[in-house]
Structure 1
Amino acid sequence: MTTRRPLALVYRGGATGPGCPESVASLLRRSRWNFDIHYVGPREEVKLTRAALGVATVYAQPGGATLGPAWRRMRRHRDTIRGFVSGGGRYLGFCLGGYLAGATPGFDLLPGDTDQYIASAGAAVASTDATTVEVRWRGYRQPLYFQDGPMFELNAAPAAPVEVIANYANGQVAALATDFGSGRVGVVGPHPEADADWFADSGLRTPESTGVAAGLDLIDAVMC
């Protein structure tokens, strides 16, 4: 008797940046969950529909460019994605995918909202250029690839339990996992899926630990 592998759908389309979906898929492939991974999007064999999500375990929204243009492409999928997660699905959002999990605008999956980390008081980064940012990931220092990622602002009394996984140096939330209906949401502002090529291509020094272990931890926090 064979057991069906959990299906992970990774969005690939105009609301993502070059290489971002592939890096997220690679991270999922390295996890312990033995995912069957497929890309979903307007030019993919699998389209982002209620039926496609109905047989999936995880939906991943990778990084990309700016929130406004991405939201114009993704807003028609808002109710479909919310229905998937509230019904027991898992949402993973990386950088822009984290922004899109927020409410203004976004899928409204969080007990709060998102904002630009670089605009926050005491931010260690002031530019939208690619760089390395150090976060406290479960209390340990972890350098991660970063490019204008979000921070996550929680309501004073969140309606759902929140697991804060990482904080930026100024204390703002850099990664979290939370419940949404019967499902679960995991979001991160930096890019733990970034491999050494991301750093090299941006002219950055590759850290000893690129963050893959942190990305795998985020997946586990969503799948628990």
Structure 2
Amino acid sequence: MRAALAVVLAVVAAGCGGSPGGDGQAQPADGRPLALVYRGPAACEGCPEAARTMLEHGGFAVRYVGPRERLRFGPSALAGVALYVQPGGSNGQEVSTAWELLGRESGFSPELVRAYVRGGGRYLGLCMGGYLAGDPGFDLLPGDSGQYARSPGASVSDERDRLVDVLWRGRPQRMYFQDGPYFDVDGPGTQVLARYPGGRPAVVVAPYGAGRVAVSGPHPEAPGDWYRDYGLPDESEAGLALGEDLLRTLTGDTAPGAAPAPSP
């Protein structure tokens, strides 16, 4: 499964340019596709690292980009990258605040990421990264993101860390959730992988130009210690399986109607 994913992403990376700029390093010598994960003040503590674990589980090599990283934003930062990842944000952080913090990053511009995806790249937004795929943000969605907890009929009503029920490809799953978005989207090629109770989209993959965008309100990348910290049943292994399904769909390796990830 992961081998097939790596083959697809290697093709994607080859179509997106040469080696990533800023650190002088070429593609990983072992041939794995490269994912670039933002790590900085617009992300929460531990969120980039959790995303990295999920990505490595899915067959990626991972590097970080951010103000204290070896790689910084710039015209060549996304060259040769198979996937750009915007991880979760800090508890209570407003979307507008996270977007403002990103805007202060040296070399960053929204068009840098938009042009990358439009040209055939992939964007993965997890929780805050899902919000930022809308407006305010990168505006990559065929629609927008919104706060699920404040939506009519939501199954949660506050910002506490918890499990949320979703239907993933029609099958019930429980996922780690902390004030994540839903997605009001509609357009050709848009796939809703998971829905919250009541039907609002929780996990979506959609085209943007020649590229693709995946967004998730819940956290498939949540490690076991996130669950333990809040006294929640540990669904981290099931989350990784869902995350792998999401990554396969993002890279075009899973067609609509394909078999869903197994229920635990």
Q: Is the 8 A contact 1:85 1:183 kept in 2?
A: yes
Distance in 2 between the 1:61 and 1:162 partners?
A: 20
Q: Is the 8 A contact 1:50 1:84 kept in 2?
A: no
Distance in 2 between the 1:48 and 1:220 partners?
A: 26
Q: CA deviation at 1:208?
A: 8.0
Instruction: Give the TM-score taking structure 2 as reference length.
Output: 0.79
Distance in 2 between the 1:208 and 1:163 partners?
A: 24
Aligned to 2:129: 97
Distance in 2 between the 1:50 and 1:5 partners?
A: 23
**Dislocated runs of 4+, deviation >6 Å:** none
Give 1 or 2 for the bigger CA radius of gyration: 2
Of 205, 228, 240, which aligns to 1:212?
Answer: 240
Distance in 2 between the 1:208 and 1:18 partners?
A: 18
- Superposed counterparts of 1:83-122, under 5 Å: 83-103=115-135, 105-122=136-153
Distance in 1 between the 2:32 and 2:209 partners?
A: 23
Of 249, 252, 256, which aligns to 1:221?
Answer: 249
Cα 1:3/1:18, change in 2 over 3 Å: closer
Instruction: Give the TM-score taking structure 1 as reference length.
Output: 0.92
User: What letter corresponds to residue 98 of structure 1 in structure 2?
Assistant: G
- Superposed counterparts of 1:1-224, under 5 Å: 4-31=31-58, 34-65=59-90, 66=93, 67-75=95-103, 76-103=108-135, 105-155=136-186, 158=187, 160-207=188-235, 210-224=238-252
User: What letter corresponds to residue 84 of structure 1 in structure 2?
Assistant: Y
User: What letter corresponds to residue 133 of structure 2 in structure 1?
Assistant: A
User: What letter corresponds to residue 99 of structure 1 in structure 2?
Assistant: Y
Of Structure 1 and Structure 2, the greater strand share is in 1
Distance in 2 between the 1:205 and 1:36 partners?
A: 29
Distance in 2 between the 1:127 and 1:179 partners?
A: 31
Distance in 2 between the 1:91 and 1:13 partners?
A: 17
- CA RMSD, Structure 1 to Structure 2 (Å): 1.5
Distance in 2 between the 1:88 and 1:112 partners?
A: 20
**Uncovered stretches (5+) of structure 1, i.e. residues with no partner:** none
Q: CA deviation at 1:49?
A: 2.1
Cα 1:85/1:208, change in 2 over 3 Å: closer
Distance in 1 between the 2:127 and 2:182 partners?
A: 9
Distance in 1 between the 2:235 and 2:216 partners?
A: 19
User: What letter corresponds to residue 68 of structure 1 in structure 2?
Assistant: S
User: Secondary structure at 1:46's aligned position in 2?
Assistant: coil
User: Secondary structure at 1:211's aligned position in 2?
Assistant: helix
Q: Is the 8 A contact 1:102 1:108 kept in 2?
A: yes
Question: For this pair of structures, how many residues does the alignment match?
Answer: 217
Distance in 1 between the 2:70 and 2:30 partners?
A: 24
Q: Is the 8 A contact 2:220 2:236 kept in 1?
A: no
Cα-to-partner distance string for 1:44-72 (whole Å, 9 max, x where unaligned)? 00112230101211000100122121100
Aligned to 2:7: none
Q: CA deviation at 1:207?
A: 3.8
Q: CA deviation at 1:3?
A: 7.3
Q: Is the 8 A contact 2:203 2:214 kept in 1?
A: yes
